[in-house]
Chains A and B, each alone.
Chain A
Amino acid sequence: MQFMLLFSRQGKLRLQKWYVPLSDKEKKKITRELVQTVLARKPKMCSFLEWRDLKIVYKRYASLYFCCAIEDQDNELITLEIIHRYVELLDKYFGSVCELDIIFNFEKAYFILDEFLLGGEAQETSKKNVLKAIEQADLLQENQSEDWGGLAAEEVL
């Protein structure tokens, strides 16, 4: 996977993750172009797009578009499922997720994504494991004063 973008129906970027090194200018250009193209598509249309030399796989969940760029030989359907799995993870974590959750807790959304995908590849496909890892890290937030090294060794996984 080359990058993943989340944007709203109004075209506002909500989350971006780039797995290939690109300049900021390039990123902005790609984002602008893609948001435009994807928003212009009708709901009954195919979830796949050929764009430049990449394949774009997108899916809309309520008012949010999830959009991934993959290479030609990659499997489009599984990418669609990656998106879905990510949404499932968000849903589980936030408890029926909505766009507001992602806006106000976007760094959490990034943490989940990092735990799920690493360097553009699916890292951990077990939903339980991903959430466990996130919870461990979050627990930190509540018990900051505690010594965490020992506790973590017992509890993580």
Chain B
Amino acid sequence: MKTERKLEKQARTVRSGYLYILSLALSASRDTAKMDLNMDSNAPHSMGTTIIGVTYNGGVVLGADSRTSTGMYVANRASDKITQLTDNVYVCRSGSAADSQVVSDYVRYFLHQHTIQLGQPATVKVAANLIRLLSYNNKNMLETGLIVGGWDKYEGGKIFGIPLGGTLIEQPFAIGGSGSSYLYGFFDQAWKEGMTKDEAEQLVVKAVSLAIARDGASGGVVRTVVINSEGVTRNFYPGDKLQLWHEELEPQNSLLDILNSPTPEPMNI
């Protein structure tokens, strides 16, 4: 469906037959770097994304980057991909921004009613199941991968991964989004059972930061949400304060700052 809409727009603004064919070939796969000369700001917003959910001894830590892209253009560089479903359950969203928002909104509504009927907070499992039912039953129309994490009094901290097709899988930790491809090996080595809250949060921040370094579709800031029996804590790690990895350059606020320095060189390598 996305490709059809793209085709229509491109047909209207095409400059030459050759360019048209080239852009068709390039935009056939969503993962290739698109040199879209005819960039379409009305194209569906996709969250490149890195999302992570990790259980620790006493609760869960959810983490995400903050980049929402429309093709090559970063539509929102400070988005909040960790949304609240109930007081004790949050969800990390990836894939199509619209699809994930709509699914979250429906589930928030159902959970609200469920909480009222039950007379007590909903469990993480129930929240995850509701998300799964929507994802699975509408799998032909949706494109969103979600990580549900929270704390309830029966099971403690739990993480459920609900990838594209609508599987529901309970995991001690879950990763998702385009940036997660670069984190599988990292987690195999760095993950351990029964971490403390601080260890878990440091792990999540480090992981998102590594993914941002390598994945073009992830970037911006790192947001984390810690959920345990005491409640929910939101944390924010600005992009320029993150640790630099191999071959990364120092962040610069503006290239214009170089002009004000004593020896203005166009590029300081």
- A is bound by B: no
Footprint of A on B, CB under 8 Å?
Answer: none
Binding site for B on A (CB under 8 A): none
